[in-house]
C-alpha cells in the first residue's frame, strides 16, 4: 500500500475521531478502530494537537507504541499550542470545536520558531514517540497567512535542515493559502482537505500546477466531502462542510453517482481513488470512528476501477 515513490503509504488514517470528534469514544473503542486499521494494512497515521486537545495524539501514540517503529508513517501538526484554559468550568466541553473532551485546555496560535519547536516537542511527549516523519503547519490562513510565510515556514525548514524532522508541509482547506505556501517554501508535501475530490476540484486550477512546478507532493484528505461520497446512494439531506448542500453540488453528485452505477463501481471507491489519478497526489487520508469503516475503506481502495469511468466523468466535465 505504498505510494509510487515508496516514501508514504497510499492510504492513511486521519485520527481526528480519536479526539472524540462529533461523538465520544472510549479508550477501548478508539483502540479497536486502530486495531482494525492496522489489521487491514493501514500504515500511515495522521493526527494533530487540535484533535481533541491532545487526546488523539495520546491515544494514537499509545497504540503505535505496541508496533515496530519502522513499520508505519506518522504525521502531526504545529501552529496551535495547548495551554491551560482560564475559563474552564467543571463539566465544560470543547463542543464549540466539535470535540467531546473537557475544555480544560485552549488552543493558542503561535507561528514563531520557538512556538513551532515547542509544539513539536509537546507532540512527541503526548505521542510518546520521538520520530515523527512529517510535520504540517495546520490551517495557517485561520490565524495569519503572512506570518506563516514569514516565520512558521522558515522554522519548519530549519527543523528539517537540523534533521529534527524528515518531511515538512502545510495542511489547509483553502486553495489560495495552499498555492501561496507551495510557491514560498520548499515543502515536501501539502495536505489538501476537501479541495480535490470526486465532487469538486478547485485545487486543480492553481494548487496542482504549483506542486508540479515545485516538486511538492499532495496528501488528499476529506475525500468523501463530509460523508456525501461515503455511501453508494447519496442523500439529499447530507451536510456539506458547515451547512446544507448547495443545489448545484447536489445535481453534480447525482450525475457522478449515476455514472459510477453505470460502471458498476461503488461511489465511495471512486471517491477514494479519484485523487490518486493525479501524479502529484501521493496518498489519501480517510477518517472513521468505527472499525467496520476502516475495513470498508481499505476494500474500497482495492476496488478495480475501469479507465472508462474516469474517461466518462471527464467527458461530462465532472473531473479535470
Query: What is the set of active-site residues?
Result: 51
Which strand (E) or helix (H) includes residue 91? none
Given a contact cutoff of 8 angstroms between Cβ atoms, the answer to whether 151 and 117 are in contact is no
DSSP for 188-205? Answer: SEEEEESSSSSS--THHH
Q: Give every CB contact of residue 91 below 8 A, 6+ residues apart in sequence.
A: none
Separation CA 103–CA 185 (nearest Å): 34
- Euclidean distance between CA atoms 17 and 211, whole angstroms: 29
> If you search the block for the grid coordinates 505510494, which residue do you land on?
3
Contact 291, 32 (CB under 8 A): yes
Residue 258 Rama label (left phi>0; alpha psi -120 to 50; beta): alpha
The grid coordinates listed for 197 are 475530490
Residue 2 Ramachandran class (φ > 0 left, ψ -120 to 50 alpha, else beta): beta
Q: CA angle, corner 135, sides to 133 and 137, nearest 5?
A: 170
Amino acid at each position: 500500500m505504498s505510494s509510487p515513490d515508496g516514501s508514504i503509504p497510499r492510504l492513511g488514517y486521519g485520527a481526528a475521531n480519536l479526539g472524540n470528534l462529533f461523538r465520544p469514544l472510549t479508550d477501548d473503542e478508539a483502540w479497536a478502530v486502530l486495531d482494525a486499521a492496522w489489521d487491514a494494512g493501514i500504515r500511515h497515521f495522521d493526527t494533530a494537537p487540535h484533535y481533541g486537545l491532545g487526546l488523539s495524539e495520546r491515544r494514537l501514540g499509545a497504540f503505535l507504541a505496541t508496533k515496530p517503529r519502522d513499520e508505519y508513517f506518522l504525521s502531526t501538526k504545529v501552529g496551535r499550542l495547548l495551554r491551560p484554559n482560564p475559563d474552564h468550568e467543571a463539566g465544560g466541553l470543547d463542543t464549540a470545536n466539535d470535540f467531546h473532551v473537557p475544555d480544560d485546555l485552549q488552543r493558542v496560535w503561535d507561528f514563531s520558531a520557538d512556538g513551532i519547536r515547542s509544539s513539536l516537542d509537546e507532540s512527541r511527549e503526548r505521542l510518546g514517540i520521538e520520530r515523527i516523519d512529517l510535520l504540517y503547519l495546520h490551517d495557517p490562513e485561520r490565524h495569519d497567512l503572512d506570518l506563516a510565510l514569514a516565520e512558521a515556514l522558515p522554522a519548519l525548514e530549519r527543523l528539517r535542515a537540523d534533521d529534527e524532522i524528515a518531511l515538512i508541509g502545510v495542511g489547509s482547506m483553502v486553495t489560495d493559502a495552499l498555492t501561496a505556501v507551495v510557491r514560498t517554501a520548499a515543502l515536501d508535501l501539502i495536505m489538501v482537505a476537501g479541495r480535490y475530490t470526486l465532487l469538486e476540484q478547485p485545487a486543480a486550477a492553481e494548487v496542482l500546477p504549483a506542486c508540479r512546478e515545485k516538486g511538492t507532493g499532495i496528501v488528499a484528505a476529506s475525500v468523501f466531502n463530509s460523508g456525501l461520497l461515503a455511501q453508494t446512494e447519496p442523500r439529499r439531506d447530507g451536510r456539506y462542510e458547515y451547512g446544507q448542500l448547495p443545489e448545484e453540488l447536489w445535481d453534480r453528485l447525482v450525475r457522478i453517482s449515476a455514472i459510477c452505477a453505470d460502471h458498476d463501481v461503488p461511489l465511495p471507491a471512486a471517491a477514494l481513488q479519484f485523487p490518486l489519478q493525479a501524479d502529484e497526489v501521493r496518498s489519501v487520508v480517510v477518517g472513521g470512528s468505527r472499525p467496520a469503516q476502516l475495513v470498508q475503506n481499505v476494500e474500497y481502495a482495492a476496488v478495480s476501477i475501469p479507465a472508462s469511468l474516469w474517461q466518462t466523468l471527464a467527458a461530462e466535465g465532472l473531473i479535470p
